[in-house]
A and B are shown apart, each in its own frame.
Chain A
Amino acid sequence: MTVGVVPITDAERQQRVAKAQRLMREQKIGGIFLEAGSSLDYFTGASWQPSDRLFGLVLPAKGDLVWLVPAADEKRAPAGQDVRLWQDDPFPRLAQMLKDRGIASGTLGIDERARFFVFDGIRRACPALEFTNADSVTAGCRMYKSAAELALMQRASDVTIAAYKAGLATLREGMPQNELQNNIHAAYRALGYPGYVSVMYGAYTAFPHGSLTPQKLKLGDFVMIDDGCTVEGYQSDITRTVIFGKPTDRQRQIWTLERKAQDAALAAAKPGAPCEAVDIAARKVIEAAGFGPGYKTPGLPHRTGHGIGLDGHEWTYLVKGNKTPLAKGMCFSDEPTIAIYGEFGVRLEDCFYMTDDGPHLFSKQSPAIDQPFA
C-alpha cells in the first residue's frame, strides 16, 4: 500500500518554521532549542534518535536555523545549513549559537522532552536566560494538521485496517495471543509499513494496556487489538473488540453501550466546542448505564481520547478540564473504554480530524460485535 504516498515537502517545512517564528514573537520567546525527536523532525525532516551525544537545533524567532552536531557525526550534518560541531563540551558552543541569533538574554523555549542534563548544561552556559516549555510553540504548530499530513494519516489508518482484516481472518480456537500478534505484524510488513499491535483475550481485555500473561483463545472470548503503524512518520491508532464465537447477552449489551459512547463523543466534537465536551459526552452515556462515576471502574478509567500525529499520543487531549476549542486540522482518537475488571473490557477506537463542518473519521467504525469492519 505504498503507491501514491506523498512525503512532506521542504516548502511545507519552511511554512512550519515561519509559523513557529510568528508564535515565538507573539509569545516573546527568543527561540526554542530542540533535541533529536519528533518536533525536530517536524520542522526539519531530520529523524534522529536521542543519544548520549547531544544533537540539537536552535530555531530562533528571527534568522536561520542553527544545528548543534557532535563532531563525530559530522557526516550526518544537514548540508548547506549553519552547522556548529562540538568536540568536548556542547554547551559553550550552544551559548555562542544563541548569541549569534540574538538570544543572549530573554526567554528560550526548551523542547518538552529535552533531558535534564541538557537543560542543566544550557542554564549553566547561559546564566542570563530564562526558560520556558517550548510546547506553546511546537504544539501550537503541530496540533493543526495540513492536508498533506491528513493524507499520510489517512494512509496509515487504511494500512492498519488492512493489517487487522488480514490478522483477524486467521483467528482459531486455542490461538496464543502472540500468534495473532505475529500475523498482524507480518501483514504490516507485507503492506510495506512498520506497525505494532497489542492483543488481549477474554478477561485481559479489561486492562487498557494489556497484560504479558500468555493467553489462548477460547470460544466466547472477546478479542481486542490495539495500536497502529507509521507512514512517513505519521501514526495511526485503531482498536477493535470483536467476539470469537457467540456473544452472551452481557457482552452484547456492553459492546453496544461502548459503541453508543463512541458515537456520543463524535457527536460532541463540534468546531469551537471545548475538548472536554467530547469526554463529558462519552462518559455521560457510560455513567447513565450505571458505570463509574468518573474514572471509577467498572467504567471508563481514562480520558476519551488523545491527539495524534508524528507521535501516537500528542497534544491536545479529550479530557475533563481541557477548554481548548476544537478547531480545523486537530486530530484525535475516540476511544472511551469500558473496563470491567474480572470480566472483560470493550474498546472501540477510531481517529478523526476536525474540519469546519465537524469531525471526519479516518476509519469507519465497527458496525457490530461480530463485525469489526464496515
Chain B
Amino acid sequence: MQITSDTYAQRVAQVQAAMKEFGLAAVVIEPGAAMQHLTGVRWGRSERTFLVVIPAKGAPAFVVPGFEEERAREMTPKGADIRVWQEDESPFERVAQVFQDRGVTTGRVGMEESLRFFILHNLKKAAPKMEYVTAQPALKSAGVNLVEAPRRRP
C-alpha cells in the first residue's frame, strides 16, 4: 500500500507547486483517496482526528491519535513527522503547532473537499488567524486522485 519515497517526495512537491499557484499556505487532508494517493496512507475515518498537513514549504506532518502511533508508523512514509495527540488532548492544537513550526502564520489554508465540518470548526478555534478555503483546485491541478474507491465496510 505504501508508495516509494521518491514518489512521495514528487507528489508532495507537485502539490506544493500548485499551492503556490493557488495562494495556499497549507493544505489539510483527512483519510481518503487524496491522502492515499499523496502519502500512501490508507486509514479509516472515525471520531478520532487523523490528518496530514502539507505546508507550502517544508515537510508534511501527520497528526495521529496517540494509541495508534505504532500502526500509523507502519503506514506513513519513512521518517515522517508524526504529531500524536492523546485522548484528553486536542488534535487541533497539534495542527496549529505544525502551522507555527512551518511558518504558516497568516493567509489561506486549503481544506480537502470531503473534510468533515467538526474538524474545520475546531481548527478555526485553534488557529483563528487563518482563512479556510477549498483545496480542491490546487489538488486537481497537482494531479491528486480525488475519487473515492467504493467503501468496503462502514
Contacts and interface: CB of A to CB of B under 8 A. Distances in A.
Given A207-B70, A313-B47, A319-B87, A112 B118 contact: yes
Contact of A120 (B70, B71, B134): B134
Nearest to A38: B154
Contact of B87 (A113, A131, A196, A302): A302
A114 B71 contact: no
A116 B117 contact: yes
Given A116-B134, A132-B121, A320-B88, A207 B71 contact: yes
Nearest to A227: B153
B118 A320 contact: no
B117 A111 contact: yes
B35 interface: no
Interface string B96-118: 00000000000000011111111
A269 to B, nearest CB: 18
Given A117-B113, A319-B88, A133 B67 contact: no
The binding surface of chain B is classed by DSSP as mixed
A228 B40 CA distance: 29
A17 interface: no
Interface residues of B, number: 25
Given A301-B66, A301-B67, A117 B114 contact: yes
Interface string B25-52: 0000000000000000000001100000
B77 to A, nearest CB: 19
A209 interface: yes
Contact of B136 (A114, A117, A118, A313): A117
A83 B71 CA distance: 45
A196 B113 contact: no
Contacts of B47: 306, 313-314
Given A117-B134, A320-B87, A112 B46 contact: no
B9 interface: no
B65 to A, nearest CB: 8
Nearest to B74: A211
B88 A112 contact: no
A193 to B, nearest CB: 14
A207 to B, nearest CB: 7
Contact of B118 (A133, A301, A317, A319): A133
A319 B47 CA distance: 14
Nearest to B47: A313
B113 A208 contact: no
A115 interface: yes
Contacts of B67: 208, 295, 301-302, 339
A127 B134 CA distance: 17
A306 B88 CA distance: 13
Contacts of B65: 302
Contacts of B136: 117
Nearest to B147: A52
B71 A209 contact: yes
B145 interface: no
A116 B66 contact: no
B116 A112 contact: yes
B87 A116 contact: no
A110 to B, nearest CB: 5
Nearest to A307: B47
Given A295-B67, A302-B67, A313-B47, A113 B113 contact: no
A303 interface: yes
B120 interface: yes
Contacts of A116: 111-117, 120, 134
A119 B115 CA distance: 10
Contacts of B116: 112-116
Given A132-B121, A207-B70, A115 B114 contact: yes
Contacts of B70: 207, 341
Contact of A313 (B46, B115, B117, B118): B46
Interface in A124-179: 131-133, 135
11 contacts: A112-B118, A113-B116, A114-B117, A115-B117, A116-B111, A117-B134, A119-B117, A120-B113, A133-B117, A207-B70, A320-B87
User: 7 closest pairs, A vs B, by CB?
Assistant: A301-B67, A112-B118, A320-B88, A321-B88, A117-B113, A302-B67, A303-B87
Given A116-B113, A116-B114, 17 more contacts: A112-B121, A113-B116, A114-B117, A117-B114, A117-B136, A133-B118, A196-B153, A208-B67, A209-B68, A295-B86, A301-B66, A301-B67, A303-B87, A313-B47, A319-B88, A320-B87, A321-B88
